[in-house]
A and B are shown apart, each in its own frame.
Chain A
Amino acid sequence: MMRYILSLLTVLMLWSLPATAQTGPLRIEITEGVIEPLPFAAPDFVSDSTTGAEFGRRIAEVIAADLTGTGLFREIQPEAFISRVTSFSSPVQYADWKAINAQALVTGAVSVDAGGQLVVRFRLYDVFAGQELGQGLQLVGTQDGWRRIAHKVADQIYSRITGEAPYFDSRVVYVAETGPKDQRIKRLAIMDYDGANVSYLTDSASIVLAPRFSPDGRQVLYTSYESGFPRIYVLQVGSAQRRVLEQQDGTMSFAPRFAPDGRRVVYSLSSGGNTDLYMMDIGSGTSTRLTNAPSIETAPSFSPDGSRIVFESDRSGSPQLYIMPSAGGEAQRISFGQGRYGTPVWSPRGDLIAFTKQSKGRFHIGVMRTDGSEERLLTASFLDEGPTWSPNGRVIMFTRETQGAQGSASLYSVDISGRNLRKVPTEAGGSDPSWSPLQD
């Protein structure tokens, strides 16, 4: 018996020996990487004319600023370049760019055609792989619109490298604020996402609040105290023409937001001391009531598919976030952390909800999943509020107000990872930003 067991063991050991020896290729698993900005080089776009060369320089600058501004890329300064790009069609000297650790390289050319139009071509290279990323692309536009062309090129580079949808060619509508806190002048303003090309949509005669872009970016909803009471207006961005949307005597309407179809608006209406949510069909002007509770319901925001609405309610005693079907009905509470939650905004990707949270005397901008899980606070300050999503759902812009009588409001942006918090340059103070969709 013993001998049998021994011989069996011996056979098993001998059998297992070849299994431990390696067969086929060596296999390793990499689970730890690094997170750091990707170094890229964007030399000035080449041109055969002086006008084109000037545009080439400015376009390369805007592209570099766009990419660097994401926090995901780091520009290699031109002083470090070893080889010069003198011709758009000549082959790239990969070794020269490898030597300065440029992992991505953008080359381009600018020319002005017979009609005075700007023609911009560019190519993107993966330097270490020694090959082009995607195809070369040509963009044509007016000379005035050179910044948009630059943004479009940057958008292409951004999405080719990250796989993320782009967002540089977008605009932001916000409330421009000037003057001291007790006599502040508020006007609606619109600008490129990076703070350039500011123009004002309203005068300073009355207080305006909470502008919101329509899904096509052509209209803006906002609340104005023009009549003495808060009322919702809709404004055409192109013509600056506006009309009042909701007008019931003795009521206040505010916090409007477009449905994803652009034909309906969900908003808050305060009547007889009670605030509830309503939905209005813009075409017919008829409103339907969505909530009917003695508590305050406000700050509604649609899910991107239009099926649900997230909003803020104090029905449990303190302001919390709830989700209900877009036609109204039973609401489900999703925020359960300590503190007060407000101004929820559904991400354009549909996976996250951004919100303002007040806890332990500080304000935060945070994100959570649509079931309330994985809450993550991204910022902390004396007063942060009013988040708005970039068109690709990767960046959040919000208002930050500083403390004291001299305190002022400015716009800030932060990546949804919590990195890359930065101030958005505006001419004066700014608050209540609303990010447009990507432009056509």
Chain B
Amino acid sequence: MKRKKRIIGIVAVLLCIASLYLVQKLLMPKYSADIFEGALIEDYYNETTEHQVVFIGDCEVYENFSPITLWEEYGITSYIRGSAQQLIWQSYYLMEETLSYEKPDVIVFNVLSMQYGEPQNEAYNRMTLDGMKWSGSKIKSIFDSMTEEESFVEYLFPLFRYHSRWSELTADDVTYMFSKKRMFHSGYLMRVDKKAAGSVPEGKILDNYQFDDSCYEYLDKMVALCEEQDVQLVFIKAPSLYPYWYDEWEAQIESYAKEKGVPYVNYLEEIEEIGLDFSQDTYDGGLHLNLSGAEKLTRYFGNWLKENYDLTDYRENEELAKIWSEKKDFYDEMKEDQYRELDEFGYLKSYGAREVTNED
């Protein structure tokens, strides 16, 4: 009798935990209808092979580089571990986490996030942190990222944070409970639409152009980690026309990179050489490149990689060729679908774009 009661008790507790787990899975945002960026970080864990090059950073990496092009043109395997407004400490911990899964030859870090020395915004934090698998890196990243209003327990049990979503549930919340909608190409978020850049305002005068000490600390950590792991670290500044990249910031990065012996390339200074045309190669007026621009930049960057690093061309490797052929098929399918939507609706209706009106 006692044994029976004990078993019932255990079953009850397990059922309780399972129910809460399922409810949590149901209520967490799926990022399947819009704000697809929220699913970027988690997508990495679907990869089945290692990569020679890993990009880390904010939207200036995941919207501006095409791993498929890097493969097609150079046989270089790559992945972009990007997320929206990814902060430098989040980048460091993603780097640390990535290196627990694989050892790339090169890690490329976009330096725009050096402008943020403090936690910024819960919504962006969530998009970087919720998708990470639990690890020491994730825990440290959460503690360094939380704004005053946030608490660790809400990251540990996201149900506490998202319980109010019950009124916003859609069929997608059930469909994508255990795996997200496939939207990315080794971490690249594709946009084929076009919106020419007009005049981009110069940056405001700042009272302080010095990057925060905390940002330099994480840059130091990145350098040390890559040295320790024998991974080549590269700094870049993507050729996005906005947010404004100050000369004072450029000077600091150049100086730091020189001091540490880390290669740094500012692609804002090589727009002509890359062949970028901001009347054609951007989908949002110069903030991010569209597919055409991303492929041009990737071709240019790939050439630089080839010239500076001894990276194997794996296009003749049967196993990798098969995997990347499938990735290429999906890439082409999405490209075709996006062009179809542009023809049909005038904007990328299913891809997070806003409807173009006569006022635009």
**Same complex:** no
